[in-house]
């Protein structure tokens, strides 16, 4: 069903304080752009978001696992069909590894087709004595360190919308057509992983899947006519930080009268904008999509219960995903009281682990980076915390790219501080490269097998 109508009602969020919004120099220009956005087609449809809520509901009920992965910030400049295809490919590879070892379905959500806006810890950035507004993602301004580049420009909202539309178009055709066919698991192997231990491990797993498919065929199962073997469900998500952009793309489903964010299937609230009385929580409460909320080391059980009540008062399984991002050293002591409180209150949430954002630091060479071992440690602590509280470690949320960038330290093909400069290409946070991503999938798969 097409969700085509805009909601004429003024929304409660507009009267609440909205943090992390750019200082748009010309409010009239912003208004013209949001009017135009409101007249453009939705990027996703209500029925698809309902399917995702159901899939996440199975995660909340301990019957599936979530893999949410993609860029920290998508870029206007490095956008190409090839880069979208390669990012999808690495996520599909990781999902096959996870599904094969856990025996439960993997729900796949990309940080893609709309993941542009970035919250910043400071409004300004100072380099060599010059202070300029911070870079807030290509949907707002440019990352170049010049006064002109850093001026927020609302025309960028339109460009982000159109880039999201063409990214989604490509993702839809790649996941519906032959590209995601399970018979092609070998073809997803990327040349750079062929020679690595994880590459060989992946090839063995792909061989086993091939044998299983041939076995099913030999037993008389008509595998050619089973769409689940030839297509895959892949969903999009981003941090819905810029509320005027989100509101312009919010539509009412004529079938149910509910409001849906049509900028992505799932949207989440960041760690810096989750205050209970803030505009972001109010906006998210007003839409029916599956939603996420980051939960950092300062979150108290009361705060988290408040978020559950505000964001999922009807206690719909799959509606709310809580994404913890504590840091490797704090994960167990930080997470366990939250797990216990939510469990005791009977809220059916999905718990996912973001092992990236609590482990960022500046290396000696001056690069913002993360250690692969800290990332693995936080995931291990996440599984231990859930085992101790009798709750379901539901998924992982990671920043990655398929390219062989050198942004995170370590991994089996070890990246050292001195290597970071070689291919440090992110416009925001350091991402796992293709090898590290596959490596991580095998480590998470081990944890899933140990749990089973
Ligand atoms: C992010 O996911 O890119 C992000 C900014 O995370 P957080 O809000 O947890 O810091
Ligand atoms: Co990030």
Kind plus residue range of the DSSP H or E element containing 235:
strand 234-239
Is 306 near ligand 1, meaning CB less than 6 Å away? no
Is 271 near ligand 1, meaning CB less than 6 Å away? yes
Mutate to test the pocket of ligand 1, among 75, 324, 357, 430 (most ligand atoms within 8 A of CB): 357
Is 233 near ligand 1, meaning CB less than 6 Å away? no
Is 270 near ligand 1, meaning CB less than 6 Å away? yes
Return the residue whose CA atom lies nearest to atom 1 of ligand 1: 72
- Say which ligand is closest to the CA of 121: 1
pLDDT tens track, the chain, 452 positions: 455 555 556 688 999 999 999 999 999 999 999 999 999 999 999 999 999 999 999 999 999 999 999 999 999 999 999 999 999 999 999 999 999 988 899 999 999 999 999 999 999 999 999 999 999 999 999 999 999 999 999 999 999 999 999 999 999 999 987 787 877 777 777 655 667 787 888 888 888 888 888 888 888 888 778 777 778 899 999 999 999 999 999 999 999 999 999 999 999 999 999 999 999 999 999 999 999 999 999 999 999 999 999 999 999 999 999 999 999 999 999 999 999 999 999 999 999 999 999 999 999 999 999 999 999 999 999 999 999 999 999 999 999 999 899 999 999 889 999 999 999 999 999 999 999 999 999 999 999 999 88
How much is the pLDDT for 215? 83
DSSP class of 266: E
Q: Which atom of ligand 1 is nearest to the CA of 354?
A: 9
Buried b (16+ CB within 10 A) or exposed e, 387-407: eebebbbbbbbbbbbbbbbbb
- Cα of 240 from ligand 1 centre, angstroms: 11
d(CA 113, CA 25): 26
How much is the pLDDT for 193? 61
Is 290 near ligand 1, meaning CB less than 6 Å away? no
Any idea how long the chain is?
452
d(CA 280, CA 119): 13
Strand spans (E) along 243-330: 250-252, 259-261, 266-269, 291-295, 320-324
Strand 361-362 with 368-369, pairing: antiparallel
Is 110 near ligand 1, meaning CB less than 6 Å away? no
List the structure tokens of 253.
Answer: 């489903």
- Cα of 442 from ligand 1 centre, angstroms: 24
- Cα of 297 from ligand 1 centre, angstroms: 13
d(CA 249, CA 246): 5
Q: Which atom of ligand 1 is nearest to the CA of 270?
A: 8
How much is the pLDDT for 219? 87
| Inter-residue contact 352 to 395 (CB < 8 Å) | yes
Residue that is written with structure tokens 């013209």 in the block = 32
Query: CA torsion angle for 149, 151, 154, 157 (degrees, to 10)?
Result: 50
Query: How distant is the alpha carbon of residue 329 from its chain centre?
Result: 23
Q: Which residues pair with 363 in a beta bridge?
A: none
Kind plus residue range of the DSSP H or E element containing 30:
helix 27-39
How much is the pLDDT for 1? 45
How much is the pLDDT for 393? 98
d(CA 243, CA 158): 14
How much is the pLDDT for 10? 60
Return the residue whose CA atom lies nearest to atom 8 of ligand 1: 270
- Cα of 416 from ligand 2 centre, angstroms: 21
Return the residue whose CA atom lies nearest to atom 9 of ligand 1: 271
Taking phi over 0 as left and psi of -120 to 50 as alpha, with beta for the rest, 129 belongs to: left
How much is the pLDDT for 370? 98
Buried b (16+ CB within 10 A) or exposed e, 185-204: beebbbebbeebebbebbee
Cα distance between the two ends of the chain: 39
Q: Which atom of ligand 1 is nearest to the CA of 296?
A: 9
3-state helix, strand, coil in the chain (%, to 5): 45, 15, 40
How much is the pLDDT for 7? 56
Residue that is written with structure tokens 């542009």 in the block = 116
Is 325 near ligand 1, meaning CB less than 6 Å away? yes
Distances (CA, A) of 213 to 54, 183, 279, 420, 438: 27, 8, 50, 42, 23
How much is the pLDDT for 3? 52
How much is the pLDDT for 400? 97
How much is the pLDDT for 143? 97
Mutate to test the pocket of ligand 1, among 116, 134, 138, 354 (most ligand atoms within 8 A of CB): 354
Is 386 near ligand 1, meaning CB less than 6 Å away? no
| Inter-residue contact 273 to 242 (CB < 8 Å) | no
d(CA 93, CA 91): 5
How much is the pLDDT for 357? 98
C-alpha count within 13 angstroms, C-beta hemisphere, residue 87: 32
d(CA 137, CA 399): 15
pTM as predicted: 0.95
């Amino acid at each position: 069903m097409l969700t085509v109508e805009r909601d004429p009602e003024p929304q409660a969020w507009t009267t609440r304080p909205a943090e992390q919004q750019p200082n748009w120099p010309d409010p009239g220009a912003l208004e013209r752009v949001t009017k135009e956005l409101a007249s453009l087609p939705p990027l996703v449809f209500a029925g698809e978001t309902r399917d995702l809520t159901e899939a996440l509901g199975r995660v909340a009920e301990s019957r599936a696992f979530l893999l949410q992965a993609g860029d920290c910030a998508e870029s206007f400049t490095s956008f190409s069909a090839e880069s979208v295809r390669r990012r999808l490919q690495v996520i599909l590879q990781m999902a096959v590894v996870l599904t094969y070892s856990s025996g439960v379905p993997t729900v796949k959500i990309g940080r893609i087709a709309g993941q542009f806006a970035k919250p910043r810890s400071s409004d300004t950035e100072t380099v060599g004595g010059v202070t300029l507004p911070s870079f807030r993602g290509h949907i707002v301004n440019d990352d170049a360190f010049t006064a002109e580049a850093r001026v927020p420009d609302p025309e960028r909202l339109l460009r982000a919308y159109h880039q999201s539309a063409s990214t989604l178009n490509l993702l839809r055709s790649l996941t519906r057509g032959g590209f995601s066919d399970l018979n092609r698991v070998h073809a997803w192997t990327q040349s750079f992983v062929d020679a690595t231990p994880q590459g060989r491990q992946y090839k063995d797993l792909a061989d086993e899947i091939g044998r299983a498919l041939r076995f099913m065929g030999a037993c008389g199962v008509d595998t050619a006519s089973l769409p689940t073997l030839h297509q895959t469900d892949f969903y999009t998500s981003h941090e819905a930080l810029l509320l005027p952009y989100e509101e312009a793309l919010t539509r009412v489903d004529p079938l149910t009268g509910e409001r849906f964010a049509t900028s992505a299937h799932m949207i989440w609230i960041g760690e810096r904008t989750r205050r209970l009385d803030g505009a972001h929580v109010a906006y998210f409460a007003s839409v029916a999509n599956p939603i996420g909320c980051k939960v950092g080391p300062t979150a108290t059980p009361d705060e988290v219960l408040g978020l559950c009540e505000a964001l999922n008062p009807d206690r719909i399984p799959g509606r709310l995903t809580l994404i913890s991002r504590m840091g490797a050293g704090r994960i167990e002591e930080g997470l366990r009281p939250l797990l216990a409180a939510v469990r005791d209150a009977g809220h059916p949430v999905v718990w996912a682990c973001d092992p990236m954002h609590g482990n960022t630091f500046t290396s000696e060479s001056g690069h913002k980076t993360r250690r692969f071992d800290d990332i693995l440690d936080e995931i291990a602590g996440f599984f231990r915390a859930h085992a101790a509280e009798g709750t379901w470690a539901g998924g992982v949320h990671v920043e990655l790219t398929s390219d062989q960038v050198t942004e995170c330290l370590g991994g089996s093909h070890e990246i050292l501080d001195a290597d970071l400069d070689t291919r440090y290409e992110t416009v925001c946070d350091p991402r796992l490269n293709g090898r590290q991503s596959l490596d991580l999938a095998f480590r998470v798969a081990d944890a899933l097998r140990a749990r089973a």
